[in-house]
Structure formats: structure tokens, C-alpha cells
Amino acid sequence: MRRAGRDELARALLETRDSTRRLVDSLQPGQRTVPQWPILNPPVWELGHVGWFQERWCLRRTAAGRPLLPSRLASADRWFDSSSIPHEARWSLELPPLETLHAWMDEVLQASIARLHDEADDDAGMYFHRLALFHEQFHVEALVAARQALGLPQPGPAFDPPQPLRLAADVRVPGGEVMVGTPPESGFAFDNEQDAHPVRIAPFDISMQPITNAEFLQFVEDGGYHRARLWSPAAYAQIASSGRVAPSHWRRVGNRWQMRWFDRWVPLEPYAPVVHVDAFEAEAWCTWAGRRLPSETEWEHAASSLDGFEWGDTVWEWTASPFVPYAGFRAGPYVDYSEPWFGTHRVVRGGSFATPPGLLDARMRNFYRPERGDVFVGFRSCAPR
């Protein structure tokens, strides 16, 4: 998608919008009222925000210093501009009926596709269509993750639990100077990936697939959640106060373990990747196992250079790297994409089974707060340095 032609990009915009609508329309009316949690957005607000973002960047933009063109929906900026509407305020907005939002979003989508085919300048025009596409694809995954967090029904067979991995030993990756980030000739790039630059790394050994449930279960059954030395003081205090002795989506029934998957409990598949663990749980496991999380540079280099390195269709993967700018960072046109989150979030790499395939790129730097275990995230490990 980063270098897709106009026809392919138009198809992706249509297919992604279909996914977004189905995820919201398939909710019962009562399921569209969600608790005011920091990890959630009201689903109807999220739907409208996706339409607002596409209209804002594909249809309403003007020359620098000039005001935006008006929206096709009166009050859209007051309802759906995430930069100006505090998160907690999104529950109290009097939004228009769902039918009104769908009609407006259909009009915006068709006008955006028409403009896509009219754009003469690839850099100036198609950049914003790709930005709108990727933004919506992130929200598609967020809507799926919200269903999981709330224990709502699974939205179709495409979201079955992750399947067993093909297990393999560590692989040695030679050190040296490696290129990290996205060069201009690669097409679209998020601002936090720019630009490609050399980084010198030492040789390292990395697992070829994420840590499995069976591997994490050994840590659980060895009392890992009760051993303070394996955790940072703040993380252990939080775990101790919660009373948890295993990942939040696990439970033990007799001598068997189960995992909650949307609205049902399923047997824990030993050789599937562990999912819904936060960065502190990942680090505690690594300390227990005598391992460590890879840096994001190590992860990117391994994913880009190793045959058989499995990523992108199971779980996002925690890295040891804080989310900070590359040297020479310049915010993109959508200035709130990266800059507000530097220093408070942790880099995750790869992608999950719920990530639309067009988003997948080994260079993409996704990011979550380290305490987020609600998203479809796991981890892999490296041998100690």
C-alpha cells in the first residue's frame, strides 16, 4: 500500500471502510454504549472520527496558513476532531444518528476516491489518501481489540484465536552497521520512521518466533507473579495490588488453563503466541528466563534480513525501546501522530492477526503505553548480551 497505484489504493479504501462499518453496525444498540475506560472510544464516535479524518486530509486541506474548507457535515469538527476533543468528553457528545453518519461518510469516501484519480502530484495527493487509509486501518484493529476487552462476540472467523507456531531455535544475527528507518524512495512513510539512517549494532541471538503460551505458562507455574525480584518495583506493586497470578485473560479450571477469547473461554493452546501481556510482564518473563527483549533496531534488522523470521500475522511484539524520535525528526502534516507520545510509550513492532495487511511493514514503529495488555501484543526474546 505504501507504493500502490491509484486503482489499488481506491480498492483498499473501499474495503477498509466496509470493515469499519461492519464492526460498528454488527454491534447491538446496547453494545455501542461502552464504559469510559482510557483504552476505549465510544464506537459511534470512533466511526465518525474515521470519516472526519478522511475528509480533513483528503478533501478539506488548503494552502499553508489558510483555513480549512468547510465539512460536508455541520459540527463535524466539534464532534470528531481528536486533537481538540478531550478523551473523556467523547462520551457526552450528542452525536447525529448512525444513518446520518453513514450517508456523510459515503459521500466523503466517494469524493475522496474521485479526487484520488484527479490528483496530478503523487507526493502531494496520494500521500494524504494513504495517510487516511492507514489511519482507518489502525482504527479497524482498535475496534476489534475493544470487542475483546469488553468480552463482546467475536466479529467473524477471521478473528479466531492465534494458531500454533512453527517452533525454531535462536538464530545468530551478525553485527555491524545496519540501515534503520524508511528511505524516501520507499514511498509513504510515517513521520517517526524518517529518514533511513545507519546504526551500528553488536551481534545478537534472537528467537525466530514470539514466546508461546507454553513458555509463558512455565513462568506462571514457577510463581513468576509472586517474585518481586523479576519485576521493576512499580510494576510489581501494581501486579501485587491487582492480585493477578497470570495474564489478565487467563484462568485455571481444575488442572487446565483457559484463555478468554472475546465472549467465550477456550482451552489455552500451548504453542500459540502468548497475547495480552504488557511490557512489564514481558520483561519479568525475560528476567526469569535469563533472556531480554530485543531493541527495536535489532527487531527491524532481523525481520528485514532473516528467512523464516515469523512476524505480522500473530501478535504485535514489545521491544525494549522507548518511543523516541529518530535524529532529525520532523513532524508530518498530521502533527499529533507521533510527537505527543514520545517518551511515554514503548515501541512495538510487527503486527497482529487483527492488523489489516496493508499496514504491515518491518520498518513501522507502532507504540503503546507499556502497561497496555489489552491490545493484541506479545513478545519475542534475545539471548543476553
- Are 114 and 205 found together in one domain? no
Residue that is last in its domain, among 156, 180, 212: 156
- Are 20 and 140 found together in one domain? yes
Residue 257 bridge partners (DSSP): 252
C-alpha cell at position 12: 483498499
Taking the C-alpha atoms of residue 240 and residue 222, their distance in angstroms, rounded to an integer, is: 16
User: Residues 162, 164, 170, 176: is their CA dihedral positive or negative?
Assistant: negative
Q: What b-and-e string marks burial along 312-333, b requiring 16 or more CB atoms within 10 Å of the CB?
A: bebbbbbbbbebeebeebeebe
Q: Which residues contact 282 (CB under 8 A, 6 or more apart)?
A: 211, 293, 318, 378, 379
- Are 130 and 197 found together in one domain? no
- Are 209 and 350 found together in one domain? yes
Structural domain contains residue 28: yes
pLDDT of residue 121: 55
Alpha carbon of residue 90 to chain centroid = 21
- Are 92 and 217 found together in one domain? no
Q: What is the number of structural domains in the chain?
A: 2
The pLDDT profile of the chain, 385 residues, written as one tens digit per residue, is: 999 999 999 999 999 999 999 999 999 999 999 999 999 999 999 999 999 999 999 999 998 889 999 999 999 999 999 999 999 999 999 999 999 999 999 999 999 999 999 875 556 779 999 999 999 999 999 999 999 999 999 999 999 999 999 888 899 999 999 999 999 888 999 999 998 999 999 999 999 999 999 999 999 999 999 999 999 999 999 999 999 999 999 999 999 999 999 999 999 999 999 999 999 999 999 999 999 999 999 999 999 999 999 999 999 999 999 999 999 999 999 999 999 999 999 999 999 999 999 999 999 999 999 999 999 999 999 999 9
pTM assigned to the model: 0.96
Structural domain contains residue 275: yes
Structural domain contains residue 166: no
221 and 250 Cβ atoms separated by less than 8 Å: no
Structural domain contains residue 104: yes
Identify the CA nearest to 143 among candidates 262, 53, 260, 52.
Answer: 262
Structural domain contains residue 1: no
pLDDT of residue 120: 59
Domain range for residue 123?
A: 6-156
- Are 122 and 223 found together in one domain? no
- Are 119 and 184 found together in one domain? no
Residue that is last in its domain, among 156, 191, 218: 156
Structural domain contains residue 164: no
- 3-class DSSP assignment, residue 219: helix
CATH number assigned to the domain comprising residue 246: 3.90.1580.10
Structural domain contains residue 306: yes
190 and 301 Cβ atoms separated by less than 8 Å: no
Residue that is last in its domain, among 156, 179, 214: 156
- Are 200 and 63 found together in one domain? no
- Are 101 and 186 found together in one domain? no
Residue 265 bridge partners (DSSP): 260
Using only C-alpha atoms, the chain has a radius of gyration, in whole angstroms, of 21
- Are 146 and 290 found together in one domain? no
pLDDT of residue 118: 87
- Are 217 and 349 found together in one domain? yes
Structural domain contains residue 165: no
- Are 184 and 294 found together in one domain? yes
197 and 179 Cβ atoms separated by less than 8 Å: yes
